[in-house]
């Protein structure tokens, strides 16, 4: 459960620290004091999208930090997956910078936005006023039905769906390639024959270019080698160096500083000797072959032409050759490949279809249970004449090549039909419910959905909108009943709901140095009487409202 909330530099909140307890806690306060900001802050803490302007004017960042204890097994297991130590306490922190960037930390470890969302799925649920609009959208109805058992079956379905989809893509690709190959087979064979005749070798072009360069510059190479030979022999370089070397050999024995010169000249002597031998051998082996030069030139022309034609280097052309061979092979062996892949596709389709049918049947069973539970709760919420029905689409499984009925979430579509008055026909929920009725339907729905989730904290932002009198009293009792199983927060304007709470937090705003400051205080018994009496009768001067408030608190204590 949520034990502490720290908020700083967020909207009109300068800094607040709120300690929470188990049970039912209500938040009340004057309009614009920041009640919804508290809920917004918690929502941002668990991953809600941050919008511009959240950081308090004059600050560089807003900080929201929540401390949780009594962690569920699912939360602990997820923390283990993230390699985060929990020590039976969870601290989530979000820093929202004025630039729009956000950072999340869990027990001091930086995590991603998506990891926060997954972690908090089983930690806390927030119902804001716009959530009731989800009842108008049939796309949300399957999410109401799916529980842990259904989701496990859905995960198995998704694996089969992915497998079927992949094989179907391969099968259609095979058919398309067959059609294309049939049309282009002669040209593909021509291209393959052209490449085969070229007998390309990786690295061949580089060697040919080097040979071509030598033969094409034969005269220059020959003349330069002759010049070196003449210079070496006419100037007696080797003999002169040998004489210098002999003198240095004697000097280094007399004075060690000559040793380096001796070493350098000795190296130069041997280099000159080696150069002379090399030049002699090169001249003896040098021979101009015009026919070979023409052969190289012709070979390079073939390679260049193929590179231009296929827009590839030699390695790329050889890969194209392999692709052409595969295409020809697939045409020649199409019947074998088609039969093999068709069998795989049929098996994948049958497996997917069977799993989809199982998933549909399980969802219908879960929907029936949920329907009965919701009806029971709605009757408690003084909607005694209500009738409710989950209606599923009729699925017609057609050709195994038709994947249009399958989606990643199954084949099911669901609508909720309802009637609030005796004698009325069942109609889509979105077309018949008033605001107060919708709030009660949502409360009844969430009351049972939470049973299937290992949630520790639930927050309602004005779930009692549009209610009054005995209906409001029943809603208050239902919230109180839920708080026996989990921590419940409720923003309310109704005295009857506030009087049923275990704890009452009052949100007020003050003006300090021309700034609006939001404060949150936990009310004592006497303070609750004052606030409740103001909610009952704002202009009461007789004291009767205070007496009514006192009696309400005593009754629900």
* pLDDT confidence of residue 503: 95
Per the model's pLDDT, the better-predicted residue between 542 and 410 turns out to be 410
Residue identified by tokens 């010049």 is 227
Query: 358-376, pLDDT tens digit by residue?
Result: 999 999 999 999 999 999 9
* pLDDT confidence of residue 435: 67
* pLDDT confidence of residue 288: 74
Q: Which structure tokens are listed for 407?
A: 């989606």
- Judge contact between 350 and 166, C-beta under 8 A: no
Q: Evaluate whether residue 128 is within a structural domain.
A: no
Residue 509's domain is classified under what CATH number? Answer: 3.40.50.300
Query: 270-322, pLDDT tens digit by residue?
Result: 888 888 888 888 888 777 778 888 898 999 999 999 999 999 999 999 999 99
Q: Evaluate whether residue 140 is within a structural domain.
A: no
Whether residue 513 is found in the same domain as residue 552: no
- Judge contact between 142 and 364, C-beta under 8 A: no
- Whole-number Å distance between alpha carbons of 537 and 546: 9
Taking residues 412-419, report their average pLDDT: 92
- Judge contact between 475 and 10, C-beta under 8 A: no
Whether residue 185 is found in the same domain as residue 75: no
Lowest mean pLDDT among 31-35, 339-343, 483-487: 31-35
For residue 443, give the nearest of 482, 500, 498, 494 by alpha carbon: 482
Per the model's pLDDT, the better-predicted residue between 527 and 557 turns out to be 527
SS3 512: strand
Residue 290, burial from CB neighbour count under 10 angstroms (0-12, 13-18, 19+): exposed
Whether residue 184 is found in the same domain as residue 118: no
Whether residue 105 is found in the same domain as residue 179: no
Q: Evaluate whether residue 91 is within a structural domain.
A: yes
Q: Which structure tokens are listed for 283?
A: 């001249």
Q: Which domain holds residue 325?
A: 174-334
Whether residue 242 is found in the same domain as residue 205: yes
Count of domains in the chain? 3
Is residue 132 pLDDT above 70, yes or no?
A: no
Lowest mean pLDDT among 195-199, 384-388, 456-460, 512-516: 512-516
Taking residues 471-500, report their average pLDDT: 91
- Judge contact between 115 and 63, C-beta under 8 A: no
* Enclosing H/E stretch for 478: helix 469-482
Q: Evaluate whether residue 399 is within a structural domain.
A: no
* pLDDT confidence of residue 365: 95
User: What value does the mean pLDDT of the chain take?
Assistant: 87
Query: 149-168, pLDDT tens digit by residue?
Result: 898 999 999 999 999 999 99
């Amino acid at each position: 459960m949520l034990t502490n909330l720290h908020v700083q530099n967020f909207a009109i909140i300068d800094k607040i620290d709120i300690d929470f307890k188990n049970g039912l806690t209500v938040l009340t306060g004057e309009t614009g004091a920041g009640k919804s900001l508290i809920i917004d802050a918690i929502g941002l803490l668990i991953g809600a999208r941050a919008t511009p302007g959240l950081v308090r004017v004059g600050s560089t960042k807003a900080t929201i930090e929540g401390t949780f204890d009594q962690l569920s097994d699912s939360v602990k297991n997820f923390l283990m997956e993230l390699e985060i130590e929990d020590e039976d306490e969870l601290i989530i922190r979000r820093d929202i910078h004025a630039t729009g960037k956000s950072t999340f930390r869990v027990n001091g470890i930086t995590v991603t936005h998506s990891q926060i969302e997954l972690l908090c799925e089983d930690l806390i649920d927030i119902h804001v006023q716009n959530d009731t609009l989800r009842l108008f959208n049939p796309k949300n109805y399957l999410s109401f039905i799916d529980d842990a058992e259904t989701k496990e079956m859905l995960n198995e379905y998704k694996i089969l769906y992915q497998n079927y989809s992949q094989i179907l893509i391969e099968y259609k690709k095979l058919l398309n390639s067959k059609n294309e190959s049939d049309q282009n087979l002669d040209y593909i064979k021509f291209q393959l024959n052209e490449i085969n005749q070229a007998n390309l070798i990786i690295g061949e072009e580089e060697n040919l270019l080097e040979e071509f360069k030598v033969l094409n510059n034969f005269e220059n190479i020959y003349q330069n080698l002759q010049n070196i030979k003449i210079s070496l022999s006419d100037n007696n370089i080797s003999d002169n160096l040998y004489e210098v070397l002999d003198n240095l050999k004697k000097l280094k024995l007399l004075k060690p500083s000559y040793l380096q010169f001796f070493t350098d000249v000795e190296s130069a002597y041997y280099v000159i000797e080696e150069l002379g031998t090399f030049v002699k051998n090169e001249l003896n082996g040098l021979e101009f072959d015009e026919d070979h030069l023409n052969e190289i030139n012709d070979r390079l022309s073939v390679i260049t032409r193929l590179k231009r034609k296929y827009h590839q280097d030699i390695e790329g052309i050889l890969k194209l050759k392999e692709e052409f061979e595969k295409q020809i092979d697939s045409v020649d062996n199409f019947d074998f490949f088609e039969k093999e892949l068709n069998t795989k596709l049929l098996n994948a389709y049958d497996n997917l279809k069977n799993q989809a049918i199982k998933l549909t049947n399980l969802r219908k069973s879960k929907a029936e249970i949920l329907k009965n539970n919701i009806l029971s709760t709605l009757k408690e919420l003084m909607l005694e004449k209500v009738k409710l029905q989950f209606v599923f689409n009729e699925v017609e499984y057609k050709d195994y090549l038709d994947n249009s009925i399958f989606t990643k979430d199954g084949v099911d579509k669901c609508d909720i039909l309802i009637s609030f008055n005796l004698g009325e026909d069942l109609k889509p929920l979105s077309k018949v419910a008033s605001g107060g009725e919708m709030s009660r339907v949502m409360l009844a729905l969430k009351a049972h959905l939470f049973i299937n989730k290992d949630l520790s904290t639930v927050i309602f932002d004005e779930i009692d909108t549009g209610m009054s009198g005995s209906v409001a009293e029943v809603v208050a009792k239902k919230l109180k009943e839920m708080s026996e199983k989990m921590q419940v927060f409720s923003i309310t304007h109704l005295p009857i709901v506030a009087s049923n709470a275990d704890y009452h937090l009052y949100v007020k705003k003050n003006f300090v140095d021309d700034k609006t400051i939001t404060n949150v205080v936990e009310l004592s018994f006497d303070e609750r009487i004052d606030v409740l009496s103001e909610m009952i009768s704002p202009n009461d001067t007789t004291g009767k409202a205070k007496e009514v408030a006192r009696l309400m608190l005593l009754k629900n204590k």
